[in-house]
Amino acid sequence: MIGAQQVFTVSELNRSARELLESRFGEIWVKGEISELKRAPSGHVYFTLKDEGGELSAVRFRSRSALVADAGVETGTVVLAFGKLTIYEPRGRYQFVASLLQPVAAGALQLAFEQLKRKLADEGLFAEEHKKPPAAIPRRVGIVTSPGGAALRDIVSILARRWPSTALLLFPSSVQGDAAPAELRSAVERAVRYSAEVAPLDALIVGRGGGSAEDLAAFNDEGLARAVFACPIPVISAVGHETDVSILDFVSDRRAPTPSAAAELVAPNRVEIVTKLDAAAARMSRAASARLRQRRTALQSQLRSYLFRVPQRRLETLEQRLDLQVAAALRGIAAVWTTRQRAVRRAKEILRLSDPGLPLRRGYSLTFAVGSDRPLRDAREVSEGCEIETRLGAGRLTSRVEEVNPE
């Protein structure tokens, strides 16, 4: 401390300046022309953003590359850069860390595309667990495209060649222009109703041929993306050429780089299947022939054996085996019968000894208080004047108690 003023170290000052700068501006857009662009071996890109009044050092780290559209981003390109202002503390360098670079010429469409893509991804519309595989052998395939476009002709031609038994149903829609997004959504919804109410569709191809970013903009519509996500039919996206990417590609169950590739993806090649079946049939025939030869050899070996050359001996052997088995069975039956008889005799003896009348027939008796079913065991259980019943081996006696002597 010098007087009442605080003394900062260089590191403390740079850190405080960085925190102040980042909290003040947050994430922002900056427009400028790229100059002094350098691509480091690490994958990081260093460049300067400038306009007629100033310059700003900038960097785009490799970890952010998935968010950057590199096409057309070179020295001299005017771009919209999205990111944050910060200070590189070790050198005290004021710089801009870009997470997205967009050439201004492509600007609005690509910006809207990236924002919608991020929004739908955060909601889980692109998640793999929601993807539905198309049927291996399709019976009916729906097509959402322009009825006059080359995409439809390509799809019909390829499916007719690969799997001609597939029924194709067209749900027509315009594929570019202001009305296209609503028409595409409506076509998908008509396909869903047809599949539910008329005949189930095994797959739905949605797409068109190539074109500019403006031509393909209809397939970046949020409403279309949500309609496809909710569609119970497996949807195959087939928009443009292989390098074209749309929101529909991410939300669909399968993405084909072209309409022709979508047709190849949705149906098997009958020539390949026939070839595989022929190969399988040939393998089965060879295996059956080999098995037959093996059995024939075994049979011939058996026929040459002694027993087959002397059938009477074989018959005698079988008769002897039968006699032994019958004798063993009879012995088993006799043993079981003897065991059962012993068990019956034991049961009869147990029942005889358990007979409660047996002691009575030997001269013993049972005495009950009248109205009770429990025999008397103690003189104190009755009192003078009570009636008692004595049960003998034959008959019963009823008497009255004159005297009770518990001794």
CATH number of 50's domain: 2.40.50.140
Please give the pLDDT value at position 108. 58
Strand partners, 31: 80
Q: How far apart are CA 146 and CA 45, in angstroms?
A: 42
Query: Binning pLDDT at 50, 70 and 90, where does residue 242 land?
Result: confident
Q: What pLDDT does residue 67 have?
A: 41
Is 328 a member of any domain?
no
Statement: residue 147 has pLDDT above 90: yes
Helices and strands per DSSP (H, E), number in the chain: 11, 13
Instruction: Single out the residue of 185, 150, 193, 134 nearest to residue 169, CA to CA.
Output: 193
318: in domain: no
* Domain stops at, among 241, 268, 295: 268
Whether residue 167 lies inside any domain: the answer is: yes
In percent, the amount of the chain with pLDDT more than 90 equals: 34
| pLDDT at position 261 over 70 | yes
Residues 6+ apart with CB under 8 A from 340: none
Question: Does 249 fall in a domain?
Answer: yes
Residues 138, 99 share a domain = no
CA dist 169 and 346 (Å) reads 85
Burial class for 345, CB neighbours closer than 10 Å (0-12, 13-18, 19+): exposed
pLDDT band at 310 (very low <50, low <70, confident <90, very high): low
Which residues share a beta bridge with 95?
Answer: 86
- Cα 157 to its chain centre, rounded Å, is 34
Rounded Cα distance, 27 and 266, in Å: 44
**Domain finish residue from 84, 105, 126:** 105
Whether 264 and 138 map to the same domain: the answer is yes
- Determine the distance from the C-alpha atom of residue 138 to the mean position of all C-alpha atoms in its chain, rounded to a whole number: 21
User: What's the burial of 287, exposed, middle or buried (CB within 10 Å: 0-12/13-18/19+)?
Assistant: exposed
State the pLDDT at residue 70. Answer: 52
Q: Which residues contact 300 (CB under 8 A, 6 or more apart)?
A: none
Residue 83 lies in a domain: yes
pLDDT at 1 exceeding the cut of 60 = no
pLDDT on residue 407: 73
Using CA atoms, how far apart are residues 332 and 230, in angstroms rounded to an integer? 73
Confidence of residue 375 (pLDDT cuts 50, 70, 90): confident
Mean per-residue pLDDT, 99-115: 73
Which CATH number belongs to the domain containing residue 244 in this structure? 3.40.50.2300
Place of tokens 């009305």: 179
For tokens 């925190």, name the residue: 19
Dihedral sign for Cα atoms in the order 352, 357, 361, 364: positive
> Do both 151 and 94 map to the same domain?
no
Entry field: residues in the chain: 407
Q: Are residues 36 and 82 in the same domain?
A: yes
From the list 229, 174, 231, 223, the residue with the least C-alpha distance to 201 is: 231
Cβ 195 vs Cβ 169: under 8 Å = no
Domain count, the chain: 3
Rounded to 5°, the CA angle 187-191-194 comes to 135
State residue 388's pLDDT score. Answer: 86
- For residue range 162-212, what is the model confidence (pLDDT) as tens digits? 999 999 999 999 999 889 999 999 999 999 999 999 999 999 999 998 887
Residues 139 and 261 in one domain: yes
**Whether residues 139 and 251 fall in one domain:** yes
User: Is residue 293 assigned to a domain?
Assistant: no
Provide φ and ψ at 205, rounded to 5°.
-95, 125
CA 79, CA 100: separation in Å to the nearest integer? 10
Domain housing 18: 10-105
Residue 347 or 253, more confident: 253
Which of these three, 242, 268, 294, is where a domain ends?
268
Mean pLDDT of all residues in 360-369 = 77
101 and 139 fall within a common domain: no
Q: Nearest 5°: phi and psi at 76?
A: 95, -10
- On whether residue 203 sits in a domain, the answer given is yes
Q: What is the average pLDDT score of the chain? A: 85
- What's the pLDDT score for residue 144? 97
Average pLDDT of 292-303?
Answer: 83
pLDDT greater than 80 at residue 362 = no
pLDDT band at 100 (very low <50, low <70, confident <90, very high): confident
pLDDT tens profile 37-77:
888 888 888 899 988 888 999 998 876 554 444 545 677 77
Residue type, 50: K
- Determine, yes or no, domain membership for 392: yes
Query: Is 88 in the same domain as 146?
Result: no
As given in the structure block, the two tokens for residue 178 are 């202001």
